Structure 1
Amino acid sequence: MDEQSTLKVGDRYQYAGFWPRVGAAVIDTVILCMLTYPILVAVYGWAYFDSDAVIQGGTDFVLSWLFPLIAVLSFWVYRQATPGKMAIRAKIVDANTGDKPSLRQYLIRYLGYIVATLPLGLGILWVAWDKRKQGWHDKLANTVVIGDKERTAEVAFSSNSDT
């Protein structure tokens, strides 16, 4: 990204910080759970949640592993954001150009979550300390998450009480 486009991007966008991204992840997790848990309970019963097995069967594999992969990648490819990121008005862009990332970058980013979470989530927490707010998954894929700068209206209070 050249300096001129950096200035334009800097005027409108900022790196999405740790807490907004946590909020986005919570939204995405709730949506995925609302879609998958009823089916998992219908197929496996409530004992599903007591099992130590990583995968309890074909339905579990499809709903717990394949569906999230396809859903997340689809949102990234077509919207550059999951519903949670859309809710915080953020999107994923190439870290060098600011353009839409390639499918390869998205795949690396998705698999990078595994690397980022293995050492007690340190790679996810890294977003809080990194200058560009990149987690390890972002660094591996050469992506950044940006959001619109908050535009707030000036607050004015009147001296008369009309309440």
Structure 2
Amino acid sequence: MSTQSQLHYAGFWRRTLASLIDTLWMMLLITPLLVYFYGWEYFDPYQSPPLDGTADLLLTWVAPAIAVILFWRAKQATPGKMAVHARVVDARSLQTPGTGQLIIRYLGYFLATLPLCLGLLWVAFDPRKQGWHDKLASTLVVCNPAPAPTTELRSAAEGQA
């Protein structure tokens, strides 16, 4: 595993892109289910209350939380972070964070957004690119190391030289 000095922290824009990708795939999964249970009226702010029953609670709050935490636990990344070649690690050991840390990290997103998203913007200015949710959970988001070239790739590159 890398040492702290060899780490390349995932910066603000990389993490923003990962978040947009995650939002898109989550919407693609959840929207059809919301339409199935509630119809298109669900999306009309004048027709639908802010939280419209058990299915709404499960689909818009519980399922995303479970999915994100499971992805972090199993892959150290959500699909968005995987797409941008980033992963979540424990700030001390640089290994997979514990489940408790990941729950704190997820809940920390809500705290980070309260004061005008300052806790998320913090990533742009922090030396280790940590948002408030990362600091609360003692996590880092780092870029995956580039894979070592395979023998076939090295041979092909040498053959072209």
Instruction: Quickly name the TM-score band, shorter chain normalised.
Output: 0.7 to 0.9
Separation in 2 of the partners of 1:123 and 1:30?
22
Separation in 2 of the partners of 1:62 and 1:145?
28
Separation in 2 of the partners of 1:45 and 1:62?
16
Question: Secondary structure of 1:14's partner?
Answer: coil
| One-letter amino acid of the counterpart of residue 5, structure 1 | T
1:5-84 correspondence to structure 2 within 5 Å:
5-7=3-5, 10=6, 13-51=7-45, 53-84=49-80
Please give the root-mean-square deviation of Cα atoms over the aligned residues, in Å.
1.9
The residue that corresponds to 1:108 in the other structure is 104
Separation in 2 of the partners of 1:110 and 1:93?
14
How far off is 1:149 after superposition?
Answer: 5.6
1:115-134 correspondence to structure 2 within 5 Å:
115-134=111-130
Aligned length: 145
Separation in 2 of the partners of 1:49 and 1:150?
42
Separation in 2 of the partners of 1:17 and 1:53?
37
Structure 1 unmatched runs, 5+: 152-163
Structure 2 unmatched runs, 5+: 148-161
Separation in 2 of the partners of 1:124 and 1:150?
27
Separation in 1 of the partners of 2:37 and 2:4?
51
Given that residues 87 and 144 in structure 2 are in contact (C-alpha distance below 8 angstroms), is that contact kept between their aligned partners in structure 1? no
Q: Which runs of 4+ in 1 moved over 4 A?
A: none
Question: Secondary structure of 2:17's partner?
Answer: helix
Separation in 2 of the partners of 1:108 and 1:38?
29
